[in-house]
Amino acid sequence: MTVTTVTPPSRPAGSPVLAEEPRRRGGALRRLLPLLPALVLLVIFMAGPILWSLYISFTNETLTGSASVDSRFVGLENFVKLFGDDAFRNSFLLTFVFVIGSAVIGQNTLGLFIALLQRGRGRVVRSVVNGVVIAAWVVPEVVAAACWYSFLSEEGTLNEVLAFLGLSQDWLFTAPMLAVTLANVWRGTAFSMLVYSAALSDVPGDLLEAAAVDGASGWRRFTGVTLPLIRRSILSNLMLITLQTLASFGLIYAMTGGGPGTASQTTPLYMYDQAFRYFEIGYGSAMALVMLVIGALFSLVYLRLIKVET
Partner 1 sequence: MRRTMVASVLVAAVAATAGACGGDKSTGETAGGAKEIEVLYRVEPAWPHMEKTLKQAKTQFEAAHKGVTIKLTPVQGTNEVYYTKLALLNRSADSAPDVYLHDTFQVNADVAAGKLAPLDDYLNTWPDWSTQYADSVKQAAKGPDGKIYGVPISTDTRGLWYNKDILTKAGISVPWEPKTWADVLTAARAVKQKVPGVIPFNMYSTKVLGEAATMQGFEMLLYGTPGGTLYDDTQKKWVASSKGITDSLGFVDTIYREGLGPKQADAFDAKLGEKVGLDWFPGGKLAIGLDGAWMSASWTPTSTKPWPQWTEKIGWTPMPTQNGEAPGAVSMSGGWVMAMSSYAKDKKDAFDFISTATNKENTLTYSVSTGDLTPRKDVASDPRYTAANPSVKFWTDLASVTHYRPAYEVYPKVSAEVQKAMEAMVTGSKTPDAAAKEYADALPGVVGGPDKVTTGS
Footprint of partner 1 (CB under 8 A): 63-66, 68-69, 154, 170, 172-173, 194-195, 197-198, 201, 257, 259-261, 276-279
Amino acid at 23: R
Tally of CB atoms within 10 A around 197: 18
SS (H, E, C) 118-136: HCCCCHHHHHHHHHHHHHH
Closer residue to partner 1 (CB): 20 or 130: 130
Structural contact between residues 284 and 52, judged by C-beta atoms closer than 8 angstroms: no
| Shortest reach from residue 116's CB to partner 1, in Å | 16
User: At its nearest, how many Å lie between partner 1 and the CB of residue 272?
Assistant: 9
CB closer to partner 1, 52 vs 73 = 52
Residue 234 C-alpha from the chain's centroid: 13
Whole-angstrom distance, CA of residue 91 vs CA of residue 297:
18
Q: What secondary structure letter does DSSP report for 208?
A: H
Comparison of 100 and 149: residue with beta carbon closer to partner 1: 149
Comparing CB distances to partner 1, the nearer of 172 and 234 is 172
- Supply the minimum distance, in Å, between the C-beta of residue 133 and partner 1: 14
Indicate the helix (H) or strand (E) that contains 242: helix 231-246
Shortest Cβ 257–partner 1 spacing (Å): 6
Query: Which CB atom, from 83 or from 278, has the smaller least distance to partner 1?
Result: 278
Shortest distance, position 205 Cβ to partner 1, whole Å: 15
d(CA 262, CA 274): 13
